Amino acid sequence: MERIYIRDLQKHVGKPVKVCGFVQTIRKQGGIMFLILRDVTGTIQTVTSKGDPDVFEEAGKLSLESVIEIEGNVKEEKQAPGGFELKAGKITILSKAEPELPIPVVEEKGGEETDVTKRLDWRYVDLRKEKNLKIFKVWTELERGFRKYFEDAGYLQIYTPSFMGTASETGADVFEVRYFETKAYLAQSPQFYKQMAMASGFEKVFVMGPVFRAEPSFTSRHMTEFTGWDFEISYINSHEDVMAEEERLLVAGFTQLKEKLGLAIEIPSIPFPKMTMEEAKKKLEKIGAKSGKKGDLTGEEEIALSEIVKKETGHDFVFVTDWPIESRPFYHMRHEDNPLLTKSFDLLYKGVEVTTGAQREHRYEILKKQTLEKGMDPNVLEDYLNFFKYGCPPHGGVGIGPGRLIMKILDLPSVKEATYLPRDVKRLRP
C-alpha cells in the first residue's frame, strides 16, 4: 500500500490508507486511545481501542514525537479536528523518540513559549512546530515567485564564489580565513561577480546564495551569515530602472505567496513611494524623531519613516534614494549635477531595510578615481577594475535580504526565527 499525505485523506473516506508521521499528541480515555499524527501537510486524529488489543498495545508503547506508520480506514467524524478521523488497523514504530523532549513541540495554551535561545539550541525539534514549517513554505513560494519572474524576463542564474582574494567592498567587516599558503575572505556579497557578468555581456543575472558579514551586531535584524538574493541588469538609464525592476519582482513574489499559500498579504501597488535621503531626514525631523548620522538611517529612523509613509500613502514599502558618497561604496555611480550624492537607494519594508541597490559606475577611469578617493588601493582591486577596461554596459542592481522580508511578512520578532540555522556573533551550533 502506498503512503497517503494527510492533506489528501478526505479523498479516501471509507477506504484503507497508509500514513506516516510524528506523534504530536497522545490522549487516553479509558479503553480508547487517540493519537494526533503530523506530517509535512497537516495533522489527523487516529483512534484505537482495547477491542483491537494488538494495535492498542503498540500504541501504548509510543512517546511524543515518535515516528510511526499507520494503516487504517478514513471516516468522517464531526468532532475530530478537521472533520475526519483515521481508525488504526496497524501501527508500526519507525523511530521511537526519547520520552523527555528537550523542548516542547506543542506549547501549552496560555503558557509562555520556550526561550528563543533554547529553541535555537534544539532547532531540529523546534522546526517541527507547524508555525515554523510555515516559515519555510513561505521561503519556498517567495523564491518560486522570484524565479518565475526571472525566467519570464530572460535572466541567467550565476553561481558566484564565497572565497575571495580581496574584500568585497571596503575591506571592513569581512571574515578572513586561511587559504593554503595565503589568506582569503568570505564574500560580503556577490557584487563584484555580478558586475563581471555585465562586462561579459550576460545583461541580466540573478544570484541566490550565502553572504557573510563580520559585524559585531546583536540586533533582531543582523546575522553573520545569511541568504542573499541579488540581481544585476545592463543598459539602464539610471537607478530608477533598477527600482522599477525590483517593484515588478516583489509583486511577482507576493502574488505567488497569496495564490499558492492563501497568505493574508497585501500585494504592493506600483510605483512604490520614493523620497531622497534629504527628504526623509526632513520628514523625520518634523515629527521629532531622534536622528542618527546625517547620511544614514538608524533602525529607529527606518521604523519611524515607514510609519510616516504608511500613514501618508497606505504603502508598506518606500525607497530612500540619493545617498551621500560617504555612506556608499566606491563603485556606486554619482549624480552628474551633484557628485556628492550617489545614484543609490535602500528599500524599506514595514520599518526594516530589505534591499540596497544602485546604478554602478561602469567607466574605468572614473571608477579608479573613486577608488582612490575612498582611500583604497587600486592594486588590491586590480582584478575587479580590469572588468571595466575592455568595455562594459551601464548597469545596476540590488542585494535583497529575503530573511528580513519574511520576518516582516510573518511578523516574526527576529530574522533568526526566519532562518533555518541562524549564525550570529555567538552562535555556530547546531
Cell numbers standing for residue 44 = 489527523
Q: Which residue has the cell 543609490?
A: 344
Q: For residues 196 and 331, give the distance between their C-alpha atoms in angstroms, rounded to a whole number.
A: 13
Q: Where residue 170 falls among pLDDT bands split at 50, 70, 90?
A: low
Let me know the angle formed at the C-alpha of 47 by 45 and 50, rounded to the nearest 5 degrees: 165
339, pLDDT greater than 60: yes
Cβ(331)–Cβ(191) under 8 Å? yes
Render pLDDT for 19-47 as a digit per residue (tens, 0 to 9).
Answer: 999 999 999 998 999 999 999 999 999 99
Q: Where residue 228 falls among pLDDT bands split at 50, 70, 90?
A: very high
Range 421-429, long-range pairs (CB < 8 A, 24+ positions): 421/123, 422/120, 422/223, 423/223, 423/224, 423/225, 424/218, 424/222, 424/223, 424/224, 425/216, 425/217, 425/218, 425/224, 427/120, 429/121
Let me know the angle formed at the C-alpha of 67 by 14 and 32, rounded to the nearest 5 degrees: 55
User: Whole-structure pTM over 0.85, yes or no?
Assistant: yes
What's residue 423's pLDDT? Answer: 96
Render pLDDT for 231-255 as a digit per residue (tens, 0 to 9).
Answer: 999 999 999 999 999 999 999 999 9
Q: For residues 234 and 192, give the distance between their C-alpha atoms in angstroms, rounded to a whole number.
A: 14
What's residue 173's pLDDT? Answer: 85
Q: Where residue 301 falls among pLDDT bands split at 50, 70, 90?
A: very high
- How much is the mean pLDDT over the chain? 94
Render pLDDT for 61-119 as a digit per residue (tens, 0 to 9).
Answer: 999 999 999 999 999 888 888 888 999 999 999 999 999 999 999 987 767 789 999 99
Let me know the angle formed at the C-alpha of 216 by 213 and 218, rounded to the nearest 5 degrees: 105
What's residue 218's pLDDT? Answer: 84
**Among 283, 289, 288, 291, which Cα is nearest to 312's?**
283
What domains lie within the chain, and their CATH numbers? Answer: 6-95 (2.40.50.140), 130-418 (3.30.930.10)
Instruction: Please give the distance of CA 29 from its chain centroid, rounded to a whole number.
Output: 43
**Among 255, 234, 246, which Cα is nearest to 274's?**
246
390, pLDDT greater than 70: yes
Render pLDDT for 302-329 as a digit per residue (tens, 0 to 9).
Answer: 999 999 999 999 999 999 999 999 999 9
For residue 184, what are the CA distances in angstroms to 158, 187, 188, 196, 313? Answer: 21, 9, 12, 19, 46
What's residue 219's pLDDT? Answer: 86
Render pLDDT for 340-372 as a digit per residue (tens, 0 to 9).
Answer: 999 999 999 999 999 999 999 999 999 999 999
Q: Quick one: which H or E segment has residue 305? A: helix 299-313
Evaluate the omega torsion of the peptide bond into residue 271 and state whether it is cis, within 30 degrees of 0: yes
What's residue 169's pLDDT? Answer: 60
Give the amino acid at 371.
Answer: T
168, pLDDT greater than 60: no
Which DSSP letter does residue 353 get?
Answer: E
Tell me the β-bridge partners of 347.
319, 355
Q: Quick one: which H or E segment has residue 36? A: strand 32-39
Cell numbers standing for residue 376 = 583604497
Contacts of 70 (CB under 8 A, 6+ apart): 18, 19, 20, 35, 37, 46, 86, 88, 90, 91, 92
**Among 262, 265, 307, 276, which Cα is nearest to 289's?**
307
Render pLDDT for 203-220 as a digit per residue (tens, 0 to 9).
Answer: 999 999 999 999 888 888
Q: What average pLDDT does range 144-158 have in this prediction?
A: 98
